[in-house]
Amino acid sequence: MSLATYLVQRGKRATWQLRVPIPRALHAPGKPKERTMSMGTTDRRIASDRALAVLDEWKREWATARGEPLAVLSVPSQARRKPTQAELEALAVEFGHDEALAQSDMRRQQPGGWRRHMHRTEAALDAFTPLAATGDHSLVEGIAGDIIDGMGLNLEPGTPAYRQFLTDLNAARMAALKTSHARARGDLEASAESPLVARVRQREQDKAKPGETLLDLFDRYAEQRLAEGRKRDDTLKQDRKVIEQFAAFIGVDRAVASIKPEHVRGYRDTLRQLPPKWRDRADMRGLSMREAAAKARDADMPRTALTTVNKHLSTISPLFAWLIKERWDLSNPCAGLFHDKVRGKNPRPPLGTDRLNKVLASPLFTGFEADGKEHRPGEVRANDWRYWIPLLCLFTGMRVGEAAQLRTEDVSQHDSGAWIIDIQHAPGKGQTTKAGQSRASVAHAKLVELGFVAFVEKRRAAGGDSRLFPELEVNERDQLGAEPSAFWRDYLTRIGVKAGADGLGAHSFRHELADRLRVEVGLVDDQIAVALGHDQKSTTAGYGAVRQGTVRFLAPVIAQVRFDGVEFAPIGRTLGSHR
């Protein structure tokens, strides 16, 4: 069976679903001819890994129903999947303990076979005990190979995971022999006192009911938050990736009531040991979180920031808070596990006068060599998003994504004479704002002087797409601002303004205006928040139909920004020199 054939996306959230035809020999009148199961993820790679496990289980069930041995279930090597430690422990208990014990009970109950069975069990226990005690796996290597082949596992002999699997099989087999021996001697209620068996049994008890896994519940939570307008679809998609990673760490089918603080603490500490964006690294492809963390420790890789770790907990914790509000009988396992706030430099600093002057005197604004070599001096002039987006952020305070989605019809002149830019929240036109509301921004006179209005008029005259920057394309998250953000991080580094993870980027132009409003105009933070379009959470903010930050408030405020010490002369040029 090919996963590419049977994995499909369904529903508004495009969750992957496994759909497999039931073998014809097992068809029954009035029964479905196809078996389906949601993989609980929008990530194709994760869905494929989970689908392999489910497909293995279904094939095993169908083979058993047809009376076929396990050997027929051998999976081609290219389709093999890497099992988790929990899965291997469950297989060790299933085949090393449960099946062996069931066969032993059958032999013990055969007429006239009790004494022979007791002697046989004693002999097996005497022979197996020294092997298990000395780490000799010779008696379980055969069954290990059958399980690995039959279940289609990617588990190479000699690896630590393989050796641990053999150890677990030994432990499971020893527990079965001890229980068989006790039952043969008359203790019919004897059961294994094995930590391995106990762990597997506990996981079985902790398994979620159908439709109540962590991911199932998150989807309900997300649907409600979206309907309430409390979270955006893109934010929820990113949140789901965190929940998927957390669920994979603790067990995707674990019941939420069984998730304890120690599980969250383990996730938190393991995440902290990982390098940033570890799942995108080629050298960690296919590794579990624990395996990747061990590799990162050994290689002394950079670690995930404490603020990022806290963001993950800030995604997990509200889900449990919502479940508690929905009357689920549980407590929030994230409580008390957040790292204390790390005090340090502003993670998103403004440019400052000296750095801003260096940027304005750099090749992108004065003439560069060629596209892709904007940091090298030359004769080429840009008249597109590379040039205008940072200036829009600097002279209006809008966000990078808001500037990237502007249209020609969004720019107009107010009755007061000020040029205004409507920042639209119109998802139908591909325009969204962080606050989910439209607002007006006022262009500083210097932006008009540099030719922005003339640029807009030129776009209007060209006709066609009314977007100001039609060259920009959305990324996988439907964001137009991703390309400018990445470009400016790289450009600032190339011209020697940015160094490492200092927080400087395209947003630093917006933050520069915030500092100027504070220092040169004398605004307090609440007023700056209004000028920059922050969502105001207050009682009076909900009164009336007019949003804070009217043109009559903004125009004189923006006009008072002097940009003291900033040298705009290098970029004073005619539109005819633009590319």
DSSP reduced 3-state for 373: coil
Of residues 114 and 379, the one with the higher pLDDT is 379
Share of the chain above pLDDT 70, in %: 88
**Of residues 333, 312, 319, 334, the one with CA closest to residue 224:** 319
233-250 vs 306-325: helix axis angle to the nearest 10?
A: 90
At 118, the pLDDT band (50, 70, 90 cuts) reads confident
Share of the chain above pLDDT 90, in %: 14
Residue 267 has pLDDT above 90, yes or no: yes
Return the pLDDT at 333.
92
User: Rounded to the nearest 5°, which phi and psi values hold at 509?
Assistant: -70, -40
Of residues 576 and 294, the one with the higher pLDDT is 294
At 572, the pLDDT band (50, 70, 90 cuts) reads low
Residue 30 has pLDDT above 80, yes or no: no
Quick one: tokens of 441?
């921004």
Amino acid at 388: W
Return the pLDDT at 482.
85
Quick one: tokens of 360?
């304005």
DSSP reduced 3-state for 34: strand
At 504, the pLDDT band (50, 70, 90 cuts) reads confident
At 535, the pLDDT band (50, 70, 90 cuts) reads low
In SS3 terms, 56-91 reads as HHHHHHHHHHCCCCHHHHCCCHHHCECCCHHHHHHH
DSSP reduced 3-state for 538: coil
Q: Could you state, in order of their start, the residue ranges of all structural domains in the chain?
A: 1-73, 81-205, 229-325, 353-577
Q: What is the mean pLDDT of the chain?
A: 81
Residue 178 has pLDDT above 60, yes or no: yes
User: Rounded to the nearest 5°, which phi and psi values hold at 380?
Assistant: -75, 140
- Sequence-distant (6+) residues with CB within 8 A of 483 are 404, 472, 473, 475
pLDDT tens per residue, range 46-94: 777 777 777 777 877 777 776 655 443 444 444 566 788 888 888 888 8
Mean pLDDT of the 209-214 span? 88
Torsion-angle region of residue 186: left (phi > 0), alpha (psi -120 to 50) or beta?
left
At 14, the pLDDT band (50, 70, 90 cuts) reads low
Quick one: tokens of 494?
């190339």
Residue 28 has pLDDT above 70, yes or no: yes
Amino acid at 238: Q
Helices vs strands, H then E, count in the chain: 23, 6
The domain defined by 353-577 carries CATH number 1.10.8: no
Q: Tell me how far apart the alpha carbons of residues 563 and 509 are, in angstroms, rounded to a whole number.
A: 12
At 316, the pLDDT band (50, 70, 90 cuts) reads very high
Within 13 Å, how many C-alpha atoms sit on residue 308's CB side?
14
At 309, the pLDDT band (50, 70, 90 cuts) reads very high
Given a contact cutoff of 8 angstroms between Cβ atoms, the answer to whether 288 and 271 are in contact is no
Instruction: Name the pairing type of β-strands 15-21 and 7-10.
Output: antiparallel
Mean pLDDT is lowest, of 79-88, 446-455, 518-527, for 79-88
Mean pLDDT of the 218-242 span? 88
Helix (H) or strand (E) holding 570: none
Residue 464 has pLDDT above 80, yes or no: no
**Could you give the C-alpha distances from 532 to 197, 394, 503, 528, 562, in angstroms and in order?**
59, 11, 19, 6, 17
Of residues 45 and 321, the one with the higher pLDDT is 321
